[in-house]
Structure 1
Amino acid sequence: MIAVFILLDGLLWLISLLLFVFSAWGFYKLARLLWEKIRRSFLRPGTAQITFYEVFTPDPEDIHVQDTRPQVHLELDCERHGQRFQISLGPLTCEELFPALDLPAHHVACWLSEEDWQQLLDKRWITIACDWRQRKAILTSQIRNDRRLLLISFLSLSLFTLLVTLPLLLH
């Protein structure tokens, strides 16, 4: 009988240890994601020149494809503090690409001919944020979304803290 209790106690201890490890790993991943969002939200938008582009249409028979409209992959020449470097951006849908080119997004505009894509993208400047540390380009719309997410998170955390500490202050 005592052996069963020792075995159950050991099993419970092992399960609690595994739960602690998984929660610590989850907290670590959440903290890294939050830190990345904070870092990206402080990037300043700028411009970069398109040096190369590739327009491709996803295969509609691929089960992982949700959008069969053309997508664009861009190679950009970015400059920051006098240093120039090449970064890539994409694949982008036209809803993401056109606002970065200061053009209105329209569903029909995705189906341009090769000459129209060339005229639209060849040596064009695009509004992005250059993340020179990771050699990555980030759309300004993504930065706005990150800032919005951080603001909502901060307000939620502030409200939660207020609701938790308010009863303590009233006593």
Structure 2
Amino acid sequence: MIVLFILLGGLLWLISLLLFAFAAWAFYKLAQLLWEKIRRALLRPGTAQITSYEVFTPDLEDIHFQDSRPQVRLELDCERHGQRFQISLGPLTCEELFPALDLPAHHVACWLSDEDWCQMLENRWITIACDWQQRKAILTSQIREDRRMLLIGFLSLSMFALLVTLSLLQS
């Protein structure tokens, strides 16, 4: 009987240790995600020149794509603090690309001819934020979403802290 209690206690201790390790790993991943969102939200938008592009139509049989409209991959020439570097951006849908080019997004406009794509994208400047540390470009719409999410999170945390403080003062 005592051996059974010792085995059961050891098993519960092992399970609690595994749960603690999983919780620590989850907290670490959450902190990494939050730090990345904060860092991206603080990036300053700028412009970059399109040096090359690739327009492709996704195959709907491929499990990763659910939209058959053309998508675009861009190679960009960014400059930050006097340093120039090449980064790639994409694949982008028309709804993401056109606002970055300061053009109105329209579903029909996605189906341009090769000459129209060339006229629209050749040596054009695009509004993005260049993340020189990770060598990638981020659309300003994504930065706005990150800022909005952080603002909502901060306000929620502030309201929670205010409610806890008020409930402690009433006690």
Global fold match (TM > 0.5): yes
Counterpart of 1:19? 19
Counterpart of 2:145? 145
Counterpart of 2:80? 80
Counterpart of 2:54? 54
Counterpart of 1:35? 35
Cα shift at 1:15 = 0.6
> Structure 1 CA distance, aligned partners of 2:164 and 2:11?
35
Computed over aligned residues only, the root mean square deviation of the Cα atoms, in angstroms, reads 0.8
1:101 is aligned to 2:101: yes
Code of the residue aligned with 1:51 in structure 2: it is T
TM-score (norm 1): 0.98
Cα shift at 1:162 = 1.5
Cα shift at 1:66 = 1.1
Question: After superposition, what is the alpha-carbon deviation per residue over 1:38-59, rounded to whole angstroms, capped at 9, x for unaligned?
Answer: 0111111100000010001110
> Structure 2 CA distance, aligned partners of 1:115 and 1:102?
20
Code of the residue aligned with 1:20 in structure 2: it is F
Code of the residue aligned with 1:87 in structure 2: it is I
Counterpart of 1:122? 122
Cα shift at 1:63 = 2.8
Code of the residue aligned with 2:41 in structure 1: it is S
Code of the residue aligned with 1:18 in structure 2: it is L
> Structure 2 CA distance, aligned partners of 1:56 and 1:11?
55
> Structure 2 CA distance, aligned partners of 1:132 and 1:151?
25
Cα shift at 1:61 = 1.6
> Structure 1 CA distance, aligned partners of 2:12 and 2:68?
50
Code of the residue aligned with 1:35 in structure 2: it is W
Question: After superposition, what is the alpha-carbon deviation per residue over 1:76-106, rounded to whole angstroms, capped at 9, x for unaligned?
Answer: 0001111110011000000000000000111
Code of the residue aligned with 2:167 in structure 1: it is P
1:110 is aligned to 2:140: no
Counterpart secondary structure, 2:134: coil
Structure 1: 4+ residue segments shifted above 3 A:
none
Question: After superposition, what is the alpha-carbon deviation per residue over 1:21-49, rounded to whole angstroms, capped at 9, x for unaligned?
Answer: 11110000000000000011111110000
Counterpart of 2:170? 170
Q: List runs of 5+ in structure 2 lacking aligned partners.
A: none
